[in-house]
Structure formats: structure tokens, C-alpha cells
Amino acid sequence: MNKIDPKWLNPRGRKVKILATVGPASRDPEMLERLVRAGVDAFRVNMSHGEHADHGETIDEIRKLEKQLGRPIAIFCDLQGPKLRVGKFKDGKAVIRHSGHFTLDRNPEPGDETRVQLPHPELFGLLDKGQRLLINDGKIRLRVIRADEDEILCSAEVGGVISDRKGVNVPDAEIPIPALTEKDRKDLAFAVQKGADWIGLSFVQRPEDLAEARKLMGGYGALCAKIEKPMAVRRLDEIIEMSDGVMVARGDLGVELNPEEVPPLQKQIVNKTRIAGKPVIVATQMLESMIESPAPTRAEVSDVANAVYDGADAVMLSAETAAGEWPEEAVAIMDRISAQVENDEAYLDRVRFLDTPPDRTTADALSHACMTIADTVNIAAITVFTGSGSTARRVARERPSVPMLVLTPSQRTARRLALLWGAHAVATKDIGSFEEMIAKGKRMALRHGFGEAGSKLIALAGVPFGTPGSTNLLHIVTLAGDELDNHEG
């Protein structure tokens, strides 16, 4: 086994996590390693592009890298979801006149400047007068004049060039199609077979959309609901309850909503997910200019910083690392922005401005106590012993001032927690007694850089050990310099 550089066992020095998308610019094993060393905590595999063979190689390389560096790396497989598209045109494209009429119909004949096929029968008879249809990421905006079982007659509020198979967004109606297509089911089966830690579900409109994916996952991995439809916002509380985490997918939200509506909605989604004690990811166009430029704009830096100030668990890079010219630099600047924000004296006040009252349970009360003790006593870290990760999520919800060392017997849990705020997870042997817990907590804290001789730690666990949901023990310990055992797992 390769000797592990001890510095990669240490915490990042920031609590927010970085999720980076893998693509042609970053698939090479050497680049994957450089991205992790620059700050990546989890990799997103976009199932909308590429073949299973390529994705499988990427996942295998990430697992090799994880073993080499000795720290869990989460793999987030992002499903494409259903895509509504127009049909084809006689010349491959046409021009829709501003303020002119344009019809979407069932006729499979190639379209022109007056009409085109809409090969989605579920939309006919569904739409009402006044509702919107957005084509090509909102570049063309249509308003429904009349809709029946065969035709949807529209007025072009914003016209322009339309070409074959451009995407259609329907922001004002709940579309009666499932969130999983046949392609998604195959991609999901592949992701589960490859041991993906997170599954991103696109096109979520209702909590029921999560049920089929959950069933197909068979208990493997965590399910992340991507909030990209206005319809999902209307049932946000239920969707959060049904998911293991949430992604604020601002790209599609920005198409279906007015631009000025997205920032307050982002904060609302982040806040509600945080209150539920589940990870929330802010995604899309965070450092967009770095696809081509080696430096971000000041506005992009502020955008990332605001997500960190809001208390997001993770921030995501998309094309910046998947296809951009400066993937490593994009990760490095996101790492620096996050660390700078967290070093701000006002940071804790900002992230705690949101009230996250503990539930009336022993586990929540002790998790809340960890935060207040860390604020009162000079604590180096909170050591959490957990099997499922639920105790770590409770502690993270409180946004404590010190990092969290999570010790778990489950490699799957350790990987999943790579997207949890403040968590440095370590897969290690299980414990069987209070004395063993204290001894192991001290050894692992010293080994992973959580304090030194004389530092105080909070230990949080449940007795009897190995019993899910039994968190009932909080203990403060002091590290001694001779307690590190290099042979202990």
C-alpha cells in the first residue's frame, strides 16, 4: 500500500465543501489528483454526457485516488431527467417574429417560421391561456393564446432564431411526466452498481418524484433533490423531507423565473434545508468566466462568498472544471474564497443568523450543547462517533465554531459526509466501550491534526455503541502527546 502523506489526513482548513464536475478537461487521473489537492471534496459525474464505460473509468480513478490520499471522496452521479424539446425544421432552423404567432402541434412534418412539432403529447390540453413556454434556455419566450388537444397557439413575446430539437421549459404548469426516464433508470442502475455516494435527481416537481428513485436505489447512496422547477418550490418542505440533501440548481431556475427572483429563492432553499439538518449545495455559474479566463470576475467572487455566508454545505463547479481551460485554478480560487469568508470575524454571526432550534430529543439537545460548549471553552474539535451519519448532521446543523472529526465504521457513511459542512470523516474500526471510545477519539484527533497535547475535545456518541439513533453521551477530554498510536485503525 502506498504511504500516505500525513497532510492529506488533516482537515481542509475550511468547513464548506467543494463539489467539482468531471469532464474532458478533468478526467485524466493526474488532473483529478491535482483538483483534490487544490481543494475538491467530491466529484460530480454528469450522466447527461458520455458513456457508462467512460464514467466507470472515472469513478475507478477517483477510488484509487481516495485510497492514495487516505481521505474519503464523494461521488455524485447527476441524472439527466426528462428533456422537453421541439421537433425539426425544414432548413434546420427558422426565425420566429417578435410579436408574431407561432404554433406548436402534433404534426411530425418539419417546421417553419409559423409552426413546429412538439413531440410531447402530455402538454396538449394541459396548458391554459396566458401561460409561458420558454425555448432554448429562455432565449425565445412564447405566451399561450389558445391550447387544445392538437395545437398550442402562442404569441412570441421574444422571437428569434429557433433550430432543431431545442429545449422547452414550461414554468407555469406541473407537467404530468415522471422525473425518471428510461435513460435515467439505466444510469441510476449503473451508478448504484459503481457505488455512487450521491444520486442527483433532476426535474423534481413533487415529493412523489423522489419515491421511484429511492426504490430503485435499494438503500444504496443518498438522494439529492435538484430544485430547478418553480413547481418544486411550491412543495419545497415536502421535497426536503423526502430527500437526503438538496441542490439549488440556479441555471434552470434562472430560465423559468425572472432573474431577480433567484437570489431570495436561493436563500429560502438553503435556509429550509439547513433547518432540516440536511446538506444543501449551491450550483451553476459560480465561476462561469473561468471556463475561459484564469481569474474570476469580482461579481463571481461575491456570489461564491455569499453562498458561504448563507451557510451552504457545498458550492459546485460545473463547466469550469468539466470543460474549462483552468479547472485547477477554478478550484483553488473557490477554496481561497471559502477560507477567507470563514476567517471573517462576522462569519459565525452570519451563518447563525438563521435559527435552527433543536428538536426535543436527547440527540438534538446534545448536538446543540456541542456548539455552546465550543463557544464557551477553548475546544479544538468535536469528535462524533456515528454509524449512519445522522449525529454528524445534527452537529453540523448548529454550525459550531470548531471543526468536526467524524469517526464511523462505514466507508459509505464517510464518503457521503464529504458533502457535509464542517465534517472531516474517517472510516475506522468500530468501538465497543466507553474507554475504547475515548482512547480512539484522542488517537485519531492527534493523527488527523485536530489539536495537540493539551487540546480539549468534545466526544459525542451513543450508548450502547452500534445502536442507530442512540446519541446520549457527551464527554470532554484533554489530549496528551503520548497517545498517538500509528498502528491503530
pLDDT of residue 487: 41
| CB-based contact 465:431 (threshold 8 Å) | yes
Indicate the pairing of strand 151-158 with strand 222-227. unpaired
**Distance in angstroms (rounded) separating the CA atoms of residues 32 and 34:** 5
Q: How many residues make up the chain in this entry?
A: 489
Structural contact between residues 79 and 138, judged by C-beta atoms closer than 8 angstroms? no
Q: What's the rounded Cα separation, in Å, for the pair 473 and 342? A: 29
3-state secondary structure of 392: helix
- Domains of the chain, by residue range, sit at 6-81+178-345, 93-169, 362-478
Mean pLDDT, the chain cut into blocks of 10 residues (489 residues total) = 62 94 97 97 97 98 95 97 96 96 97 97 93 95 96 97 96 92 97 98 95 95 96 96 97 90 96 97 97 98 98 98 98 98 96 90 94 96 95 96 96 98 95 90 93 94 78 92 54
Number of H-type helices and E-type strands within the chain: 16, 21
Integer Cα distance of 121 and 130 in angstroms = 20
d(CA 273, CA 288): 25
* CATH number, span 6-81+178-345: 3.20.20.60
Residue 470, all three cell numbers: 442512540
Q: Which residues 6+ apart lie within 8 Å of 376 measured at CB?
A: none
CB half-sphere exposure, 303, CA atoms < 13 A: 20
Give the contacts of 326 (CB within 8 A, at least 6 positions apart).
290, 291, 293, 294, 320
Q: What letters, b where the CB count within 10 A reaches 16 and e where it falls short, cover 92-127?
A: eebebeeeeebbbbeeeebbebebbbbebeebbebb
**By the 8 A CB rule, do 15 and 381 touch?**
no
Whether a cis peptide bond, with omega within 30° of 0, leads into 119 is: no
The CATH H-level (homologous superfamily) assignment of domain 362-478 is Pyruvate kinase, C-terminal domain (3.40.1380.20)
HSE (side-chain half, CA atoms, 13 Å) at 296: 25
Report the relative pairing of strands 151-158 and 101-105 from DSSP bridges: antiparallel
Q: Coil, helix or strand for 168?
A: strand
At residue 489, the pLDDT reads 46
- Gap between the Cα atoms of 190 and 80, Å rounded: 14
- In the structure grid, which three cell numbers stand for residue 55, read together? 464514467
Between helix 182-193 and helix 208-217 the angle, nearest 10°, is 40
> Grid coordinates 477554478 are at which residue?
330
DSSP strand pairing (456-462 vs 314-317): unpaired
Report the CATH number of the 93-169 domain: 2.40.33.10
For residue 418, the model assigns a pLDDT of: 98
Burial of 346 (0-12, 13-18, 19+ CB in 10 A): exposed
Burial of 446 (0-12, 13-18, 19+ CB in 10 A): buried
Decide: residue 152, CB within 10 A, 0-12 exposed, 13-18 middle, 19+ buried: buried
> Cell 464518503 identifies what position?
415
Side chain identity, residue 8: W
- For the annotated catalytic residues, the residue numbers are 44, 85, 226, 284
What is the pLDDT, as a whole number, of residue 488? 45
C-alpha–C-alpha distance, residues 40 and 26, integer Å: 12
106, 118 in Cβ contact below 8 A? yes
First CA to last CA distance, the chain: 15
Name residue, grid cell 457527551.
474
The confidence score (pLDDT) of residue 113 equals 97
Instruction: Please answer whether residues 382 and 460 qualify as being in contact, where contact means their C-beta atoms are separated by less than 8 angstroms.
Output: yes
- The pTM assigned to this predicted structure is 0.94
